[in-house]
Amino acid sequence: MSEAFLSALRHTLPAEALVLDVERLRAFECDALSAYRALPMAVALPGSEEDVIAVLQLAHAHRIPVVARGAGTGLSGGATPTAGCLLLGMSRMRRLLYLDPLARYARVQPGVRNQAISEAAGHYGLYYAPDPSSQIACTIGGNVAENAGGIHCLKYGLTVHNLLGLRAVTMEGELLELGGTLDCNGYDLLALLTGSEGLLAVVTEVTVRLLPKPQLARVILASFAEVGHAADAVAQLVGSGATPAALEMMDGATVRAVEDFLQAGYPTDVAALLLCEADGTPEEVEADIVQMSRVLRAAGACELRVSDSEAERQQLWAGRKAAFPAAAKLAPDYYCMDGSIPRAAVGRVLAGIASLSAQYGLACINVFHAGDGNLHPLILFDANRAGELARAEQFGTDIAALCVSEGGAITGEHGVGIEKLDGMCAQFNAAELGQFSAIKAAFDPLGLLNPGKLIPTLHRCAEYGRMHVHRGQLPHPELPRF
Amino acid sequence: MLTDLQAQLRQAHAMSVPVRIVGAGSKQGWHAPQQGEALHVGSHAGIIDYAPAERVISARAGTRLAEIQAVLASQGQMLAAEPPDFGGHATLGGALATGWSGPRRPWAGAMRDQLLGVEILNGQGELLRFGGRVMKNVAGFDLARLMVGANGTLGLITEAHLKVLPLPEVETVRVFELPQADAIALANRLCAAPWPLSGAAWQGGLLRIRLSGNAAAVATAQQQLGGEPDVERHWFARLQAMQLDSFAPPSAEQGLWRLSLPQTCPPLLADYPQLIDWAGGRRWLSAPLAAAQAISTSARGAGGHALLQRSQAGWPTAPRNPTLLALEARIRRALDPRQILNRRQGD
Ligand SMILES: Cc1cc2nc3c(=O)[nH]c(=O)nc-3n(C[C@H](O)[C@H](O)[C@H](O)COP(=O)(O)OP(=O)(O)OC[C@H]3O[C@@H](n4cnc5c(N)ncnc54)[C@H](O)[C@@H]3O)c2cc1C
């Protein structure tokens, strides 16, 4: 069966677009959530939309599951191969097809790196706003699949807010052409595909909106002696009239790790730091800096530093951008969570995490998109010590539950993948999950595209649900219980 | 109330009878008539929660937009998508179901961009929640945003959570006398530079540029842009409310079309009177119904589409891509297996 498929695949794609030997397949066995690994049967590297259509039609005819992969920077196992699947690596489709500076959009292939778009647009005074910390590596196709966010999403929106059109191919090899104008015709499938984690269709072309670069941007570095004060400042900044272009928080442990790593010039004797940016016309920036500084001081900031030059602004951000690699030095392993909560709850949830940290005996540091209420607790552990991985995962599950109980979500931007399948049982009831399955079946009736991701089986939820009561009701009353 | 709606839908599903969802009926005459018994949502109303500091408002579907806008304005905030409120009658549910956004849309986003979460009843009467009250949420497929613009065919929206934004400190309009082609070009050149814009619309030889932001920024921009002050008061407010003359009901042989086009598209079908909004992205066009075919073909040829929005004589459907139509039909059955919700008359 798979032999027949592979030989047909060899006729469909040139030899250099296929990876079949185990050594080279290893490079594709996981994404950035490396605890989960599996070898694909083969990797196909299509060079064009026609290739994608041909490969998907072939795989469909042979009933071979397919997993799309961008740069593999995903943090939820979305691009992890399922055993025996064909992995569709989009990295060769990395051409910028067209950029219209007057109409302010770019049409790009899915394997184009996020940052490459802003680099190309920069020549015209334009940029692509969503800027995930992984932007030098991650692809726009992966960004669409995850509805990626970034530091500047507080003011400029997530991936879904910055797309104008998509071309995508279903598992059956049908081409979908979506969007193109500011109003949509028919259902908003552009929004539905965004964040669908490669389960509905393979994205073959993305039209992104480009924005004019603001005339000026300045960032305030505010240090706090208490985490709670920094959290209060976040809530108050959001409630004030000014919208920060970015509002990020780092706790003291992260700040010290970052300073050890690259000397960004942060004060280290702090409990928390906020980076709060203002952008716009010089007049707007000046007014916003005054207002934001006032709010920060009133909330208890002990020191404020405002960037005076673009170089200084870049330097202040460099530390934030290096937070993940810096954290990697603190422990052999870390586990990155992605809970999303109301901004007013930031202080409460951080306190809750601190007490869970003590309870599990595992350190947890926090560096996150505070203005959006999107937490990224990093649980530090050592997978070589017996039981620590399991404890870290349990700690993570508790954090996710804490976020849900605050009216939040188990994932703000990293996606469900395989990692948060249990969390989905906490977030949704059986009817809601059933609706996701029905949507999946509308696109991919055989369930061949990225199977086993995003939607937990009801059986899995029943297992998980034995200890879990959702909205005061036992989940899945229709399933037998023991 | 909610349990009544749910019971009615369950029954309609069980008996496979169509129902049409009615909010306040404010958009009657703006869409094709639907089949079945009316299901009234208008009294399922009220703001459930509003946290100005969180910039989030939650309300039941029957809540009047006008009420929401007034409550927000009292706290210096707004629905930035500027959905039209049809003389104060339009409900939140109807605004979401149609997904119409106002003049600020190219800069502040559309209704779907401001939606954070919904509670719906699907075509089987199941009560479901997607999205939530938080800014970022990628748990599961985005069925919340899918509801926006679906015209009630995928579910009855019972509640919604929306993101709101601060009102700009000041707003001012500059007017430029320009023919259509030059107006479209200038509006797009302005969009491509970092001006504090919030509106760009053309009608009858006048391009109106709206500036929003803090007083100093708007004053500087106004000085640099030039142009004249607007002698028509509240023109943008009337554009948002769809109360300009262009929106009046057409006579028997005439229709009002909404063209959605790439913003930089040069004048299209310029022989017909047009009101251009969104720096060219949306154009309202009055033309004889007999021109329907030609209008649809031109819009498609230009990379967009045309929808007949007002007419006294039927609602011809424009041709669409068959792959997408088939997929949409499957999506509809996924949420409403018996297709009882808001089925068009004649379908
Ligand atoms: C250090 C670090 C920092 C990060 N910071 C952020 C951040 O600030 N914000 C944020 O949102 N994320 C962040 N991420 C997560 C990750 O970078 C994003 O999820 C990114 O969008 C993934 O892109 P990718 O190209 O690597 O996709 P992959 O990891 O290869 O794939 C991700 C998912 O997309 C699917 N996919 C990929 N390409 C396609 C396609 N063409 N068509 C259909 N489906 C496709 C895959 O099947 C998979 O489900 C970070 C990750 C790391 C390692």
Q: Count other C-beta atoms under 10 Å from residue A470's C-beta.
A: 17
Subunit contact A281:B261, Cβ cutoff 8 A:
no
Half-sphere exposure of A25 (CA within 13 A, CB side): 20
Name the residue facing B136 among A181, A412, A429 (closest C-beta).
A412
Q: Which of B121, B141, B296 to mutate to test the interface with A (most CBs of A within 10 A)?
A: B141
Contacting residues for A123 by C-beta, under 8 A, at least 6 apart: none
Are residue A259 and residue A288 in the same domain, yes or no?
yes
Whole-angstrom distance, CA of residue B313 vs CA of residue B315: 7
State the nearest Cα–Cα gap between B327 and chain A, in angstroms: 7
Does the pLDDT of residue A20 top 50, yes or no?
yes
Check residue A113 and report its DSSP letter: B
What contacts 24+ positions apart, CB below 8 Å, involve B334-338?
A: B334/A435, B334/A438, B334/A439, B334/A441, B334/A442, B335/A435, B335/A438, B335/A439, B335/B122, B335/B123, B335/B154, B335/B155, B336/B122, B336/B123, B336/B124, B336/B153, B336/B154, B336/B155, B337/B13, B337/B123, B337/B124, B338/B13, B338/B16, B338/B123
Q: Chain centroid to CA B245: how far?
A: 19
Residue A44 lies in a domain: yes
In the reported structure, the alpha carbon of residue A191 is separated from the centroid of ligand 1 by a whole-number distance in angstroms of: 17
Handedness of CA A258, A262, A267, A269 (dihedral sign): positive
Examine the domain organization and report whether A93 and A134 are in the same domain: yes
pLDDT per position as a tens digit, B58-80: 999 999 999 999 999 999 999 99
> Range of A265's domain?
216-325
A263 and A159 share a domain? Answer: no
User: What's the CATH code of the domain at A7?
Assistant: 3.30.465.10
pLDDT at A140 over 90: yes
Pick the residue from chain B with its C-alpha nearest to A187.
Answer: B150
Q: Which atom of ligand 1 is the closest one to the Cα of A139?
A: 25
Position A296 in a domain: yes
Which residue's alpha carbon is nearest to atom 27 within ligand 1?
Answer: A142
Q: How far is B234 from chain A (nearest CA, A)?
A: 24
Q: Are residues A56 and A158 in the same domain?
A: yes
At the topology level, CATH places domain B249-311 in Alpha-Beta Plaits (3.30.70)
Type of residue at B269: L
Last residue within a domain, chosen from A325, A354, A373: A325
Distance from C-alpha of B335 to C-alpha of B320, rounded to nearest angstrom? 22
Closest residue, chain A, to B303 (C-alpha): A180
Burial A439-449 (b: 16+ CB within 10 A, else e): bbebbbeebbb
**Same-domain pairing of A33 and A153:** yes
Least confident of A91-95, B27-31, B97-101, B213-217: B27-31
User: A154 pLDDT exceeds 70?
Assistant: yes
Distance A80 CA to ligand 1 centre (A): 11
Hunting for tokens 């949507």 — which residue is that?
A: A439
A240 domain residue, yes or no? yes
- For A141-156, what is the mean pLDDT? 96
Q: Per-residue pLDDT averaged across A127-153, rounded?
A: 96
| Cβ contact B226:B281 at 8 Å | no
| Interface touch A181/B303, C-beta < 8 Å | yes
H helical segments located in B192-234:
215-225
Is the per-residue pLDDT at B237 higher than 60?
yes
**Per-residue pLDDT for A471 more than 50?**
no
The pLDDT tens digits of the residues spanning B326-335 come to: 999 999 999 9
- Residues contacting residue A322 through CB under 8 Å, at least 6 positions apart: A258, A261, A262, A264
Q: How does pLDDT run across A260-294, given as a tens digit for each residue?
A: 998 889 999 999 999 999 999 999 999 999 999 99
Of the candidates A394, A419, A444, which is a domain's last residue? A419
**Who wins on pLDDT, A469 or A155?**
A155
Identify the sign of the CA torsion B50, B51, B55, B58: negative
Q: Is residue A223 a contact partner of residue A302, using CB atoms and an 8 Å limit? A: yes
- B339: tokens are 């297709």
Does A469 have pLDDT greater than 60? no
Which of A80, A138, A418 best tests ligand 1's pocket when mutated (most atoms within 8 Å of CB)? Answer: A138
pLDDT for A315 beyond 80:
yes
- The confidence score (pLDDT) of residue A465 equals 63
The predicted structure's pLDDT at residue A411: 96
Ligand 1 atom with the smallest distance to the CA of A417 is 49
pLDDT value, residue A478: 44
Residues A221 and A197 in one domain: no
Average of per-residue pLDDT values in chain B: 95
Asked if residue A86 is part of any domain, the answer here is: yes
How far is residue A151's CA from residue A164's CA, in Å, rounded to a whole number? 21
Cα separation of A481 and A446, whole Å?
29
Contacts B129 to A, Cβ<8 Å: 428, 432
Cα B202 from Cα B224, distance rounded (Å) = 20
The pLDDT, as a whole number, for residue A414 is: 96
- What is the token pair recorded at B156? 């009855």
For residue A300, give the CATH number of its domain: 3.30.70.2190
Kindly determine whether residue A281 and residue B105, on different chains, have CB atoms separated by under 8 Å.
no
Q: Which of B134, B219, B333 sits opposite A341 (nearest CB)?
A: B134
Percent of chain B with pLDDT over 90: 90
Q: Whose CA is nearest to atom 13 of ligand 1?
A: A132
A413 C-alpha to ligand 1 centroid (Å): 9
Closest approach of chain B CAs to the CA of A413, in angstroms? 6
d(CA A204, CA B17) in angstroms, rounded, equals 41
Residues A12 and A160 in one domain: yes
Are residue A171 and residue A249 in the same domain, yes or no? no
CB A412 within 8 A of CB B137: yes
Q: Tens digits of per-residue pLDDT, A360-376?
A: 999 999 999 999 999 99
Residue tagged 């932001």 (tokens): B213
User: How does pLDDT run across B154-195, given as a tens digit for each residue?
Assistant: 999 999 999 999 999 999 999 999 999 999 999 999 999 999
Of B109, B128, B333, the CB nearest to A431: B128
Contact B334 A238 (CB under 8 A): no
Q: Which residues of A touch B134 (CB under 8 A)?
A: 340-342, 373, 407-409, 412
Query: Which tokens go with A446?
Result: 């055989």
Query: Three-state SS for B71?
Result: helix
Do residues A336 and A269 share a domain? no
- pLDDT, one tens digit per residue, over A406-463 is 999 999 999 999 999 999 999 999 999 999 999 999 999 999 999 999 999 988 888 8
* Per-residue pLDDT band at B313 (split at 50, 70, 90): confident
Indicate if A209 and A221 belong to the same structural domain: no
Is A237 inside any structural domain?
yes
Spatial separation of the C-alpha atoms in residues B32 and B151, rounded to whole Å = 11
> What is the amino acid identity at position A387?
G
Is pLDDT of A481 > 50?
A: no
Going by C-alpha positions, the residue among B85, B120, B126, B114 that lies closest to residue B240 is B85
Distances, alpha carbon B210 to alpha carbons B42, B62, B222, B228, B262, in Å: 34, 31, 10, 12, 20
**Residue located nearest, by CA, to atom 9 of ligand 1:** A132
- Where does the pLDDT of residue B87 fall: very low under 50, low under 70, confident under 90, or very high at 90 and above? confident
Tell me if B109 and A161 make a contact (CB, 8 A cut-off): yes
Q: Which of A260, A295, A325 is where one domain is finished?
A: A325
Per-domain boundaries in chain B: 2-166, 176-240, 249-311
Q: Which of A104, A186, A286 sits opposite B192 (nearest CB)?
A: A104
Query: Is domain B2-166 classified as CATH 3.30.465.10?
Result: yes
Handedness of CA A449, A455, A458, A464 (dihedral sign): positive
Identify whether A266 is part of a domain. yes
Instruction: Collect all residues with Cβ–Cβ distance below 8 Å to A285 and sequence separation of at least 6.
Output: A216, A217, A218, A278, A279
- B55 chain-A contacts, CB cut-off 8 A: 238-239
Does A482 have pLDDT greater than 60? no
Find the mean pLDDT for residues A111-133.
Answer: 97
Chain A hits for B169, CB-CB cut-off 8 Å, are: 241
B314 or A389, higher pLDDT: A389
Cα–Cα distances (Å) from B96 to B85, B125, B144, in that order, read: 12, 19, 10
Which residue in A103, A128, A106 sits closest to A115, CA to CA? Answer: A128
Closest residue, chain A, to B55 (C-alpha):
A239
Q: Which residues make Cβ contacts (< 8 Å) with residue A14, sequence separation at least 6? A: none
Give percent above pLDDT 70 in chain A.
96
| Ligand 1 centroid, distance to A451 Cα (angstroms) | 17
Tell me whether residue A455 is in a domain.
no
**Counted domains in chain A:** 3
What backbone torsions phi and psi does residue B3 show, to the nearest 5 degrees? -65, -30
* Residue A283, number of CB atoms within 10 A of its CB: 20
**Residue of A43, A66, A93, A133 with the most ligand 1 atoms within 8 Å of its CB, for mutation:** A133
Top pLDDT among A472 and B118 is at B118
Q: Is the ipTM of this structure higher than 0.85?
A: yes
Q: Name the residue of chain B whose CA is nearest to A168's CA.
A: B324
**Measured between alpha carbons, how far is B205 from B178 in angstroms, rounded to an integer?**
5
Instruction: Quote the tokens at residue A83.
Output: 């055993």
Residue A192 to residue B146, Cβ atoms within 8 A:
yes
Check whether residue A145 and residue A166 sit in a common domain: yes
CA distance B61 to A153: 28
What's the CATH number where A335 sits? 3.30.70.2740
Under DSSP, the state recorded for B216 is H
Instruction: Clarify whether residues A251 and A168 are in a common domain.
Output: no
